[in-house]
Amino acid sequence: MQRHGRRAGFLLAVGFAALGAAVSFAGLWFGSFWLFTCGTLLTGVYMAAQGFYRFAATDTAPLEFQGKAISYVLAAGLFSALAGSWVVRHTAEAVTVPFMATYATLLLINLAGPVIFAFLDIPKPRAASPDAPQGRPLRELLRVPEIIVAVICGTIAYALMNLVMTSTPLAVVGCGFATADAANIVSAHVIAMFLPSFFTGHLIARFGAPRIMLTGIVILMLAGMVALSGVQLTHFYGALILLGLGWNFGYIGATAFLTQHHRPEERARVQGMNDAIVFGGVFLASLSSGGLMNCMGGDVQSGWNAVNLAMVPFLVLAGATLIWLKLRVKAE
């Protein structure tokens, strides 16, 4: 993207998404688990690139509007979540092989990507001249306090959200409730993740990204407390709604804060590093979720409690970094 522009990067990404859907479709058609897995791997290439939509929204936005731009892009996730659920409901059993029609629909959706990107109006980066500023090296960028705090808070907000959300359906069904209840709870969680995006940017513009990040961390802590207080449906709903809201404030706030503290020529280096760390944390959280659920010998409630208790040290770390940054700014 830094060398060829956002459009080229996004076109490459949707190409991989379409290819992944096609290969997954073929895996279902031939009954091949490994072919289906290869399709999922190709789809992951797109998932690595789609996070850059939020950064692309800031490329041509004034500094004071960047937080709102990021927020509006993530607000579109609400439409995606609802549309995705609708597609699955109407295609999962449409043909003899379950989900085959779903992947065929995904293929068509991704083929529409080039049409949408034809309207993308972000100037292609100018070729850097030999004497142009090259930006700070990665090891120096990792010593910038604001960048450190943004990366830590963004990683923790996203990873902990994923940690708890992944375990939720297992916990809900394991506690004796129906799969429909689990689906409804996750749906409420997704709405809580994306609906606040319509005003999160305005809050960042008014109160500043660090305060919104701290608010997100506090809300995530409240989500854990609600989850630990019981295993009734009301507890699951309350915890997952708070979890979504906390993710929204923590992740959008961290993204906005990051964009404010690097130079234009450092954009690719900083954004790539940030997303590698953030989604690396999400990957580890996903792997850890099932292990924590089973760490107490198969007792569902004990496993659910272990998942939520695991959030505590990371939330303390995120809060401590924000307090440290505040004290550091005051000292200067």
Q: Is the pLDDT of residue 127 over 80?
A: no
DSSP label at 135?
-
Residue reference for tokens 């003899």: 96
DSSP label at 303?
H
Question: Tens digits of per-residue pLDDT, 50-77?
Answer: 878 888 888 877 877 877 888 888 788 7
Q: Is the pLDDT of residue 88 over 90?
A: no
DSSP label at 292?
H
Indicate the average pLDDT of the chain: 89
The 10 Å Cβ neighbour count of residue 267 is 18
Q: How confident is the model at residue 297 (pLDDT cuts 50, 70, 90)?
A: low
* SS3 label, residue 112: coil
CA-based nearest residue to 78, from 174, 180, 200: 200
Question: Tens digits of per-residue pLDDT, 2-48?
Answer: 888 888 889 999 999 999 999 999 999 999 999 999 999 999 988 88
Q: Is the pLDDT of residue 287 over 80?
A: yes
Give the per-residue pLDDT at 136.
83
Question: Tens digits of per-residue pLDDT, 203-226?
Answer: 998 999 999 999 999 999 999 999
Residue 59 in tokens? 């490329």
Quote the pTM value: 0.81
pLDDT, average across residues 312-330: 93
